[in-house]
Amino acid sequence: MSGRVLVVDDVATNRLLLRAKLSSAYYDVVVAEDGPKALDLARSEQPDMVMLDVMMPGMDGFAVCARLKADPETAHIPVIMVTALDTAEERIRGLEAGADDFLSKPFNDLALFARVRSLMRMKMMFDELRLRDLTSRELGLAEVMPDQDIEAEPSGPILIAPPDAGRGGQLAAELGARLSIGTIVTSSEREALNLSRLELPDCFIVHQTLMEGGDGLRLVSALRARPETRQSAVILVVENGDVGTAAKGLDLGASDYIEAPFDVNELIARIRSQLRRKRYSDRLRSNVRNGLKLAVIDPLTGIYNRRYASQHMIRVMERARETGGVFAVMMIDLDKFKSINDRFGHDAGDAVLREFSRRLQENIRGVDLVARFGGEEFFVAMPDVDAGAAGHAAERIRRAIEDAPVRLPGGAGEVDVTVSIGVAVAGAGDGDAEAIIKRADSALYLSKEGGRNRVSFFARAA
Amino acid sequence: MSGRVLVVDDVATNRLLLRAKLSSAYYDVVVAEDGPKALDLARSEQPDMVMLDVMMPGMDGFAVCARLKADPETAHIPVIMVTALDTAEERIRGLEAGADDFLSKPFNDLALFARVRSLMRMKMMFDELRLRDLTSRELGLAEVMPDQDIEAEPSGPILIAPPDAGRGGQLAAELGARLSIGTIVTSSEREALNLSRLELPDCFIVHQTLMEGGDGLRLVSALRARPETRQSAVILVVENGDVGTAAKGLDLGASDYIEAPFDVNELIARIRSQLRRKRYSDRLRSNVRNGLKLAVIDPLTGIYNRRYASQHMIRVMERARETGGVFAVMMIDLDKFKSINDRFGHDAGDAVLREFSRRLQENIRGVDLVARFGGEEFFVAMPDVDAGAAGHAAERIRRAIEDAPVRLPGGAGEVDVTVSIGVAVAGAGDGDAEAIIKRADSALYLSKEGGRNRVSFFARAA
Ligand SMILES: Nc1nc2c(ncn2[C@@H]2O[C@@H]3COP(=O)(O)O[C@H]4[C@@H](O)[C@H](n5cnc6c(=O)[nH]c(N)nc65)O[C@@H]4COP(=O)(O)O[C@H]3[C@H]2O)c(=O)[nH]1
Ligand SMILES: Nc1nc2c(ncn2[C@@H]2O[C@@H]3COP(=O)(O)O[C@H]4[C@@H](O)[C@H](n5cnc6c(=O)[nH]c(N)nc65)O[C@@H]4COP(=O)(O)O[C@H]3[C@H]2O)c(=O)[nH]1
Ligand SMILES: Nc1nc2c(ncn2[C@@H]2O[C@@H]3COP(=O)(O)O[C@H]4[C@@H](O)[C@H](n5cnc6c(=O)[nH]c(N)nc65)O[C@@H]4COP(=O)(O)O[C@H]3[C@H]2O)c(=O)[nH]1
Ligand SMILES: Nc1nc2c(ncn2[C@@H]2O[C@@H]3COP(=O)(O)O[C@H]4[C@@H](O)[C@H](n5cnc6c(=O)[nH]c(N)nc65)O[C@@H]4COP(=O)(O)O[C@H]3[C@H]2O)c(=O)[nH]1
Ligand SMILES: Nc1nc2c(ncn2[C@@H]2O[C@@H]3COP(=O)(O)O[C@H]4[C@@H](O)[C@H](n5cnc6c(=O)[nH]c(N)nc65)O[C@@H]4COP(=O)(O)O[C@H]3[C@H]2O)c(=O)[nH]1
Ligand SMILES: [Mg+2]
Ligand SMILES: [Mg+2]
Ligand SMILES: [Mg+2]
Q: Which of A46, A221, A307 sits opposite B2 (nearest CB)?
A: A221
Query: Directed axis angle between helix B346-362 and helix B387-402, to 10°?
Result: 140
Q: CB of B159 within 8 A of CB of B184?
A: yes
Q: What is the dihedral of CA A311, A314, A316, A319, to 10 degrees?
A: -140
- Of the pLDDT bands very low, low, confident and very high (cuts 50, 70, 90), residue A245 is very high
- Of the pLDDT bands very low, low, confident and very high (cuts 50, 70, 90), residue B143 is low
- Of the pLDDT bands very low, low, confident and very high (cuts 50, 70, 90), residue A3 is very high
Q: What is the pLDDT of residues A418-462, one digit of tens each?
A: 999 999 999 988 999 999 999 999 999 999 999 999 999 998 754
Q: How far apart are CA B433 and CA A234, in angstroms?
A: 46
**For residue A155, pLDDT beyond 60:** yes
**For residue B108, pLDDT beyond 80:** yes
Q: How far is the CA of A357 from the centre of ligand 3 (A)?
A: 20
Q: Which of A2, A218, A293 sits opposite B225 (nearest CB)?
A: A2
Which DSSP symbol is given to B209? B
- Of the pLDDT bands very low, low, confident and very high (cuts 50, 70, 90), residue A209 is very high
Q: What is the pLDDT of residues B339-361, one digit of tens each?
A: 999 899 989 999 999 999 999 99
Q: Answer whether A227 sits within 8 Å of B46, measured CB to CB.
A: yes
Q: How far is B116 from chain A (nearest CA, A)?
A: 13
Mean pLDDT over the full length of chain B: 91
Q: CB of B118 within 8 A of CB of B247?
A: no
Mean pLDDT of A278-299: 87
pLDDT computed for residue A153 by the predictor: 67
Q: How far is B132 from chain A (nearest CA, A)?
A: 7
Give the range among A110-114, A332-336, B105-109, B414-418 with minimum mean pLDDT: B105-109
pLDDT computed for residue B84 by the predictor: 80
Mean pLDDT of A182-188: 92
pLDDT computed for residue A84 by the predictor: 80
**For residue A136, pLDDT beyond 90:** no
Distances (CA, A) of B71 to A213, A241, A385, B64: 41, 48, 33, 11
Residue of B5, B6, B215, B224 to mutate when probing chain A, most A C-beta within 10 A: B224
**For residue A151, pLDDT beyond 90:** no
Give the range among A136-150, B54-68, B86-100, B298-312 with minimum mean pLDDT: A136-150
Query: Does B429 or A328 have the greater pLDDT score?
Result: A328
- Sketch out chain A's domains with CATH numbers: 4-107 (3.40.50.2300), 150-286 (3.40.50.2300), 297-457 (3.30.70.270)
Residue A73, burial from CB neighbour count under 10 angstroms (0-12, 13-18, 19+): exposed
β-pairing verdict for B49-53 and B101-104: unpaired
Q: What is the pLDDT of residues B201-213, one digit of tens each?
A: 989 999 999 998 8
Strand residues in B272-418 grouped as ranges (E) = 304-305, 326-334, 369-374, 377-383, 406-407, 414-415
**Strand partners for A103:** A82
Mean pLDDT of A188-205: 90
**For residue A154, pLDDT beyond 80:** no
**For residue A186, pLDDT beyond 50:** yes
pLDDT computed for residue B106 by the predictor: 84
- What is the torsional sign of CA A115, A121, A123, A125? negative
Q: How far apart are CA A121 and CA A250, in angstroms?
A: 10
Mean pLDDT of A96-115: 90
Mean pLDDT over the full length of chain A: 91
pLDDT computed for residue A279 by the predictor: 87
Q: How far apart are CA B99 and CA B133, in angstroms?
A: 23
- Confirm or reject: Cβ of A350 under 6 Å from ligand 2: yes
The string of DSSP letters for A82-111 reads EESS--HHHHHHHHHTT--EEEESSPPHHH
- Of the pLDDT bands very low, low, confident and very high (cuts 50, 70, 90), residue B462 is very low
Mean pLDDT of A235-260: 95
**HSE (CB half, 13 Å, CA atoms) of B231?**
19
**For residue A180, pLDDT beyond 80:** no
Q: CB of A76 within 8 A of CB of A130?
A: yes
**HSE (CB half, 13 Å, CA atoms) of B117?**
24
Q: What is the pLDDT of residues B213-222, one digit of tens each?
A: 899 999 999 9
A131 and chain B: CB distance < 8 Å anywhere?
A: yes
* HEC secondary structure over A286-323: HHHHHHHHHCCECCCCCCEEHHHHHHHHHHHHHHHHHH
pLDDT computed for residue A399 by the predictor: 98
Q: Which of B1, B128, B293 sits opposite A128 (nearest CB)?
A: B128
Q: Which of B362, B376, B377, B414 is catalytic?
A: B376
Chain B residue numbers with beta carbons less than 8 Å from the beta carbon of A251 are 1
pLDDT computed for residue A462 by the predictor: 41
Amino acid (1-letter code) at residue A296: V
Query: Does residue A376 have an active-site annotation?
Result: yes
Q: Which of A266, A376, A395, A414 is catalytic?
A: A376
